[in-house]
Chains A and B, each alone.
Chain A
Amino acid sequence: MQFDLVTPEKLLVSDSATYVSIPGSEGSFGVLEMHQPTLSTLNPGKVVVENGDKVKEYFVSFGFADVTGEKVTILTEESVLKAEINVDETTAELAEANARLAQLMKSSAPEADVEVATKKVQVLEAKLNVARA
């Protein structure tokens, strides 16, 4: 089946796959050929794409996946190959995001801002988890 991984800035991957594992917001699920049409939102996590015995792993941020019998499309705000994650940089970013979140919580900032900061922490944590797993 066809597998597309798309970010707002570009089409990252367009390849064929035999199996795709997707970190859905209601739980991870795997997709084989002829899967029931599904539309699911994503939680930040790891997408595994298998094509025969070739396996590729990607980190994805928030987004959603559109699955039809013969095609899987993942739309996400950010995505990188697992091997290309810069652990040091991400760790630093995470520390920064955490500090910012703590500061916002303390200063009783508007809820929307806190939510944005929380999400950022979530994304970075997931990214690190993917890199280390």
Chain B
Amino acid sequence: MPSLKDLRNRIKSVKSTQQITKTMKMVAAAKVRRARMKCEQARPYAEKLNEVLVGLAKNTSNMGGPLLLSGYGHVETVRIVVVSADRGLCGGFNANLAKEVTVKIKELLAQGKKVEIVTVGKKVRDILKADYAELLVDHVEDSTKNVSYELATEIGQKLMAAFEASDCQEVIMYYNKFVNMMVQQPTMQYLAPFKVEDEAENGSIAPSVEYEPEEEAILKVLLPRNVNVQILNAMLESGAAEQAARMTAMDSATTNAGQMISKLSLEYNRTRQAAITTELTEIVAGAEAV
């Protein structure tokens, strides 16, 4: 049976924890709004670029086109880019992503392929380090704080250089997609070679567009740019998802703390009453004895 003093201390400490989680929740709520806004603002560019690329890729698909479009044909080494958070305390956000990535790594290794991992955000790096330390080839520091197109370009350029030099023949990316405030979806995406999604098939046939310079040259410029934009997009999505995950996690932590406080208070009051009753009985008994 804990003493009254112990109980009082417990309650005090849980209360201050609750105070902290509550604040973190509010901070995350404010940040998630900003992160989502950034996401929305970045969307038009990504959409337009994709639209143009799909149109272009269809026109040139028979001719082979640049390396980024045609790919290598055989794949020996796959580079995986993992975009995660720099900080924890956001529920299963990082762990879920790491789980998905691990499944993919195992699958690729079982196929006899080599895997290289590039981490953006340090949490997933810490998790993957335990099992695959030798596969981690690159890491981007301090990425979640200042997400910008420049940073995405830097990452993209490094990847493309490796791809062009045939250090890796395929580049894929994992990140948490922001579905809604409650759901973050670990998502896989091809970065290189560029995959044309066939859903646009039913779209109207493009009118005779004049290309300046010719298609191939444009593709050569646009494909690497597309990679940068996809990375930027992933970082923004992941940022929004992280804050949303943190908000949910902190919300339930606050609720849990509240429950614990009421349980502890109940116990505290009971113990206090029991002590008073005992004391009273003792006094009465003492008075009678006189």
A-side residues, CB < 8 A to B, are 4, 6-11, 24-26, 36-41, 62, 64, 66, 68, 73, 75, 77, 112, 116
Within 8 A of A (CB), among B127-186: 148-149, 152-153, 157, 161
Assuming A9-B42, A39-B218, A41-B218, is B157 touching A116 (CB within 8 A)?
yes
> Please, what's the 1-or-0 string for B206-230, where 1 marks a CB less than 8 Å from any CB in chain A?
1111111100011001100100110
Q: 13 A-B pairs, CB-CB below 8 angstroms?
A: A8-B232, A9-B45, A10-B42, A11-B44, A25-B212, A25-B213, A38-B209, A39-B218, A40-B212, A41-B221, A64-B222, A66-B52, A75-B49
Determine how close the nearest CB of chain A comes to the CB of B67; give it in whole angstroms. 15
Residue of A nearest to B40 (CB): A10
- Write out the residue numbers on chain A whose beta carbons fall within 8 Å of the beta carbon of B212: 24-26, 38-41
The reply to whether B221 and A10 form a contact with Cβ atoms under 8 Å apart is no
CA distance A62 to B225 in the complex (A): 10
The reply to whether B157 and A7 form a contact with Cβ atoms under 8 Å apart is no
The reply to whether B44 and A41 form a contact with Cβ atoms under 8 Å apart is no
B-side residues, CB < 8 A to A, are 38, 41-42, 44-46, 48-49, 52, 56, 148-149, 152-153, 157, 161, 206-213, 217-218, 221-222, 225, 228-229, 232
Query: Which are the 4 A-B pairs with shortest beta-carbon distances?
Result: A10-B41, A40-B212, A8-B149, A37-B209
CA distance A4 to B52 in the complex (A): 15
The reply to whether A4 and B149 form a contact with Cβ atoms under 8 Å apart is no
The reply to whether A37 and B210 form a contact with Cβ atoms under 8 Å apart is yes
CA distance A77 to B156 in the complex (A): 14
- Write out the residue numbers on chain A whose beta carbons fall within 8 Å of the beta carbon of B217: 41
The reply to whether B228 and A8 form a contact with Cβ atoms under 8 Å apart is yes
Assuming A8-B42, A10-B42, A112-B161, is B218 touching A64 (CB within 8 A)?
yes
CA distance A26 to B46 in the complex (A): 25
The reply to whether B149 and A9 form a contact with Cβ atoms under 8 Å apart is yes
Determine how close the nearest CB of chain A comes to the CB of B219; give it in whole angstroms. 10
CA distance A11 to B41 in the complex (A): 6
CA distance A95 to B228 in the complex (A): 27
The reply to whether B52 and A39 form a contact with Cβ atoms under 8 Å apart is yes
Determine how close the nearest CB of chain A comes to the CB of B108; give it in whole angstroms. 27
- Write out the residue numbers on chain B whose beta carbons fall within 8 Å of the beta carbon of A75: 45, 48-49
CA distance A73 to B50 in the complex (A): 13
CA distance A112 to B209 in the complex (A): 31
- Write out the residue numbers on chain B whose beta carbons fall within 8 Å of the beta carbon of A73: 48
CA distance A38 to B46 in the complex (A): 19
CA distance A75 to B103 in the complex (A): 37
Other 12 A-B pairs with CB < 8 A, given A10-B41, A41-B222, A75-B49: A6-B44, A8-B149, A8-B229, A9-B41, A10-B42, A26-B212, A37-B206, A37-B207, A38-B212, A64-B221, A75-B45, A112-B157
